[in-house]
Each structure stands twice: as C-alpha cells, then as structure tokens.
Structure 1
C-alpha cells in the first residue's frame, strides 16, 4: 500500500449498499423487460442472477457485474420481447433515477473528503452509465473530491477490460502501479489486474463473498471505511 497514490472505486456494492439500493431496482427492471408479466419477470430475474423469492444475487452474474447493454441482451436471450436498443434506453433511464433512492455504505462526502485531504487522487468506474455515477456523486456530496468518472458508456471500454483504469491513470498522471482498485465483484478486480495496478481491494457490501473474491484480491475488507487505516500518509494535493 505504501506506493498507492490514487484509488479507483466501483460504485454499486462498493460505495452503495447493493441489497438496499438495487434489489427494488432489479424487480422494476424485470417488470419493464417482461412488460408486466409476473411469471416472465421471475424467469428473467433467475436467468440474470437473482432469486426472485429471496433476492439473493449470484456473484459475478449479469445483475451483479454486467453493464446495461449486457443486461438487456441477457434479458432478451431469456425471453424479453423488447428490442435491445429500446430496452437499454429504458434501463439506463431506470438506473439514473435509481440514484435518488440509493443507500450509501458510509458518509461518502466525509469519506472522500478525508482521502482527498490526504492527497489521494480519486475516481469512480462503474458498469452503470456515466450520468448515474455523476448523479450519485452529486447526491451524496463527494463530487468535489473526485478527479475522474467512467461508466460503460464513457468510451473507455467495459469491465473487466483495463480501459477505465488506464483512463484514470491518464487523467491523474499516475502509473498503474500507484493505483488501487476497490470493488465488490471479480469484474472490478480483474479490471485492476488486467491494468497491472498496484493493489486490488475487495469489499463485502455487494454481491461477492470472501470465497468468490479471494483469488483476485490483495485485501478483502468488510467495507470501504477499513481502507483508510491501510493507506499511507500523503501530503495534501
């Protein structure tokens, strides 16, 4: 951790509590994709990784790690009759509005403010769309402290490709070896490994477990607040 100068966070399941924020959204997603057919909605949820009864999300499934286009394609493959472009637009709109009801894992404005004051360069890279990320940053008050935002539609490629990390490095003038990637599923961690970052950090506020995240993470934390004690002291930027 001594070489780390920049931290790139995933959003859902990392900054936001996944179950509290996304289980209701996933049910609405299935209602939209099924055009109100409850039986089909349940089948679509199962196919994309969510048990419609318990709400359990399979780690690294489409709903856990996919971007909007991938989720739309998966829903159509599982039986949705909607056009892929139409469904992607509808889901992006749903996800953008979902930012209004999300539940943060901690006081994100204070958390990012402390890291910023210590001199770390900070960013968010999500499989959600960029508009949703920026709305989340505004709503929870940490927008002034981040140097970089990337969604699946920002032009840097998608997880687990390294492009979002390399974009962060270009924006902050950091080498990947000086960057930590923090996320709740293997798409995040593999993105970091593919970019050859210094450290990959898993958190347990999302859809992954210690068992599912162990192989690709250097650290596995209960939540992002435990990160602060691991990081070196830097001079304020």
Structure 2
C-alpha cells in the first residue's frame, strides 16, 4: 500500500508495545484479592484489545466467575496498573525509531488506544515514544472506546489531519473495525495480539523498517 500519508495514528498495545507482562501482573493482583486464581500471560494475551472492562469480563469468564464483579474489579485493576504500567513492557523492534522518523519528517503522529490516556502517556514516556507523539486519545478521553470510530476521528482532528490523509496501524480486529468505520486506511502488524490472517487490512507491516515505503514516504526520506 502506498498511502501518501500526511498523518499516522497508532494503536498502542500489541502494535507499538508488548505490554502483556505488566497487564498480567496487575490483573493477577486484583484476581488474587478476589480469591480467584490468576491468568497466565498467554491467557491475558488472548484477552487484549478490548480495554480494561473487556479484560476483566474475559478474565472472569475464563475462571467461570460472576461477571457482576467486573465493574469494581475493573476500577481496582486500573489503579493497580496505573501504578506500574511499564516495568516489563517493551517496544517492538524498530518501533521507537519509526515513530521518531515520522515526526522528523513532519508527519504528525497520534496514539488511539482503549487504554486510559494517562497510562498510555506513562508508557510512551517510559519507552521513548513521547517526544514524537502529538496526540493521545484513550478509552477515558470522552469519545467512547474502539471499535467506535469516534476516538480515532478525535485523534486525527487533534493532529490537524483528515481521515482521508491518515493511516492507522493496529494489531487487532478491533483496530480494523475502527478504521473502517472512520473511513481511514489501515495497516496491521502480525506480531501483536490479533490473528493477522483474519484481519483483512489494507496492508501488513511485518517490520517497522518497511513503514516509510508502505506510507509512500520513502522518496521523501
């Protein structure tokens, strides 16, 4: 896909950052407090992509527990996770460099995630993305949560861009559905939490070194 992008928005978890270890640790604490056996990191990986409410509902479902507990456990999880969101999380190879290169080329970069915006910013700071990111819209930013297109459209507007000139990168079917609903072209990465073979994006980015070419920026670089 040669998109000729004028702005690029990224999902965070599973796209720029592998955050499963920190998410699993916070979730394990909350489950233990409720007397529930914690999930493995592999089980948590399978629940990623739906924000904290979806994570807790999924965890309770896997443990055959009462889903009415999900609301207070979600609040508890958010507190626990916000206290240590980037202890073991890592940026995917080349991701920081790719985001920095976009910003250096004058391409506005945004983050649209179902994670809370404060926690997303903390992760971005810890892993070196923050200086290159112009807008962050999280699940608590007042625009709803993906796959509702509103948060992506809000992020694009914050960047001063339009949907037609923007490319969104994600790893999950939620990201693809969000982009389609927003009228935004979308690339998928195969190293995240979704099954890329089932996503049907506009293109697949297997390596961040290939991103400039896929965005039609190779000549400009």
In which range does the TM-score fall when normalised by the shorter chain? 0.7 to 0.9
> Secondary structure of the residue that 1:180 maps to in structure 2?
strand
Question: Which of 70, 81, 92 is the equivalent residue of 1:105?
Answer: 92
Report the counterpart of residue 211 of structure 1 in structure 2.
197
Q: How many positions carry a matched residue from both structures?
A: 216
Question: Do the aligned partners of 2:57 and 2:67 also contact (CA within 8 Å) in 1?
Answer: no
String of CA shifts for 1:11-34, please: whole Å, max 9, x gaps: 1111113xxx31463265145225
Report the counterpart of residue 10 of structure 2 in structure 1.
9
Distance 1:167 1:24, change over 3 A: closer
- Aligned CA-pair RMSD: 2.7
Report the counterpart of residue 204 of structure 2 in structure 1.
220
Distance 1:144 1:108, change over 3 A: same
Distance 1:89 1:189, change over 3 A: same
Taking structure 2 as the reference length, the TM-score comes to 0.84
Question: Do the aligned partners of 1:10 and 1:124 also contact (CA within 8 Å) in 2?
Answer: yes
Question: Do the aligned partners of 1:3 and 1:177 also contact (CA within 8 Å) in 2?
Answer: no
Whole-Å Cα distance in 1 between the matches of residues 97 and 26 of structure 2? 31
Q: Note if 1:25 corresponds to 2:23.
A: yes
String of CA shifts for 1:76-130, please: whole Å, max 9, x gaps: 5541588444312221123321323211113544322211111211011111111
Whole-Å Cα distance in 1 between the matches of residues 112 and 211 of structure 2? 17
Structure 1 gap ranges (5+):
46-51
Question: Do the aligned partners of 1:33 and 1:82 also contact (CA within 8 Å) in 2?
Answer: no
Q: Note if 1:163 corresponds to 2:150.
A: yes
Taking structure 1 as the reference length, the TM-score comes to 0.79
> Secondary structure of the residue that 1:137 maps to in structure 2?
helix
